[in-house]
Structure 1
Amino acid sequence: MQNNYSRALGVLALDIEQNLMRGSLIHKDTHDYPILIERVPGAFVKNVVAGDETVISNYIKTGEKLIKQGVSALTTTCGFTIRFQKQLSSALNVPIAASSLLLAPYLAATYKDTIGIITYDSRSLKPSDLRYAGIEEGDWSRFPIIGLENTQTWSAMALPENNFEFEIMKADLSNAVVRLLDKYPNVKCILFECHGFPPAAEHIRKTFKLPVYDAVSNAKLLMT
């Protein structure tokens, strides 16, 4: 059954418990338009992060379900779905911006210096993955990648309960940014790959006096 939304965002969620932290992509107060959330069967953290393409068909089916419910655009709750962007946009009949990494070309054109990426796991996100966002190989070096692997936040996000905590996430992200800036002092802005990170974005902006772009930024651009 289709609802009469003038504009609504559909969110293709990982098949885990949803952490409705204030400021998150899936918190109703984050947006000034309705959001509809559907879990994608079989889309677990481990296989999506690994780029398992067998889950793409379920992303498409779930997207079609949300479209029938009346959404005008789609996104997801995992930045690693950048690898599925082409297939999803080809198959679905509304605009979809699967990953915050799609902001990379905009940032590359806007900033002349280094753009730091903070990811859930830097062992899984490679510079070559930026090609899915349209970044050519000659520009991959402009996007150094630092991950949260082996932190408390990383461990909690890996579990089906997905019960990561705000204060711990702030600390883990702050430590990651310190490592990023120590190694790459010319970083002029930060892009969060992980769609669970936005609740801490304002803390990082205030602490490090740097612009931070994330899944919420991506959704706002999509719904403009």
Structure 2
Amino acid sequence: MQGVARGGKAVYGAALGILMLEARFPRIPGDMGNGETWPFPVLFRVVRGASPEKVVLQGACGLLPDFIAAAQDLVALGAEAITTNCGFLSLFQAEMAEAVGVPVATSSLMQVPWVQATLPPGKRVGVVTVSRGSLTEAHLRAAGVPLDTPVEGTEDGREFFRVLIRAEKEDMDVGLAEQDILEAGERLVTRHPEVGAIVLECTNMPPYAAALRERIGLPVYDIYSMIAWFHAGLRPRRFAAP
């Protein structure tokens, strides 16, 4: 081995930093907060006091300084880009991008304009979110999402919302959680037949994306698809010389 090794970081080999909400529900494979979800190393940082209920149902009120500080800590450790594990944090996109000095992608919702550009005329992107009633115009506007985008939520389901947002228990019936996602997706395309693709807002929904794709027969995008793209720019693939 030859050459000069360059320093300046505390941790090496993990380009992406993930800001985590403080929660105790199970993070199954595919969940953003499960380290085995990612095919590359990541750095996690829990933002203390940022519960899902406070972020989703209370608009993340007063939490911006905590997220900025946590993101700056991850950058100091060695992160070259920052993301978060709640789509509702689109509210902080502009402020965090300005404060941390590296690329920032706060929300899966940021994919909506990209996906829309791929669809044929007359088709639109629809969104499945954990809480339709809490997803405001401010959240959509901050992520560049048209305000008339069709949206469906999981508030009326039997498992997903009450475990993740209400924290009614620490265990989760995965089958029931999946059914909540499938039913929300079906309601979305039934009410809005013009929907040609779905973006999942919630970062806990990727474990169910394949099942939803099979059920509705439309492309489904989530935080995993977005971060795979995001990370690809941080570590472009090296191809063998011809």
Q: TM-score, normalised by structure 2?
A: 0.84
How far the C-alpha of 1:217 sits from its partner, in A, is 1.3
AA partner of residue 42 (structure 2): I
Identity of aligned residues (%): 30
SS, match of residue 128 in structure 2: strand
Provide the residue aligned with 1:195 in structure 2: 203
- Extract unaligned runs of 5+ from structure 2: 1-8, 233-242
Provide the residue aligned with 1:140 in structure 2: 147
Contact 1:78-1:195 at 8 Å conserved across structures = yes
Among residues 25, 31, 34, which one is paired with 2:41 in the alignment?
Answer: 34
Q: TM-score, normalised by structure 1?
A: 0.91
How far the C-alpha of 1:150 sits from its partner, in A, is 3.0
1:154 maps to 2:161: yes
Residue deviations 1:116-153 (CA, integer Å, cap 9, x gap): 10001100113453211224xxx432x20100003221
Runs of 4 or more consecutive aligned structure 1 residues displaced over 4 Å after TM superposition: none
Q: Distance in 2 between matches of 1:11 and 1:163?
A: 23
Among residues 129, 133, 142, which one is paired with 2:139 in the alignment?
Answer: 129
Q: Distance in 2 between matches of 1:163 and 1:92?
A: 35
1:185 maps to 2:186: no
Q: Distance in 2 between matches of 1:106 and 1:26?
A: 24
- Extract unaligned runs of 5+ from structure 1: none
Q: Distance in 2 between matches of 1:25 and 1:162?
A: 17
How far the C-alpha of 1:88 sits from its partner, in A, is 0.7
Contact 2:50-2:60 at 8 Å conserved across structures = no
1:219 maps to 2:227: yes
1:120 maps to 2:130: yes
How far the C-alpha of 1:106 sits from its partner, in A, is 0.7
Provide the residue aligned with 1:12 in structure 2: 19
Q: Distance in 2 between matches of 1:70 and 1:162?
A: 32
AA partner of residue 29 (structure 1): E
Q: Please, what is the CA RMSD of the aligned residues?
A: 1.8
How far the C-alpha of 1:92 sits from its partner, in A, is 0.7
AA partner of residue 123 (structure 1): G
Residue deviations 1:65-116 (CA, integer Å, cap 9, x gap): 1112211211111100011111111101221101001111112222241211
AA partner of residue 152 (structure 2): I
Q: Distance in 1 between matches of 2:168 and 2:107?
A: 21
Q: Rg bigger for which structure?
A: 2
Equivalenced residue count is 219
Q: Distance in 1 between matches of 2:209 and 2:50?
A: 25
SS, match of residue 11 in structure 1: strand
Provide the residue aligned with 1:63 in structure 2: 71
How far the C-alpha of 1:162 sits from its partner, in A, is 5.2
AA partner of residue 150 (structure 1): D
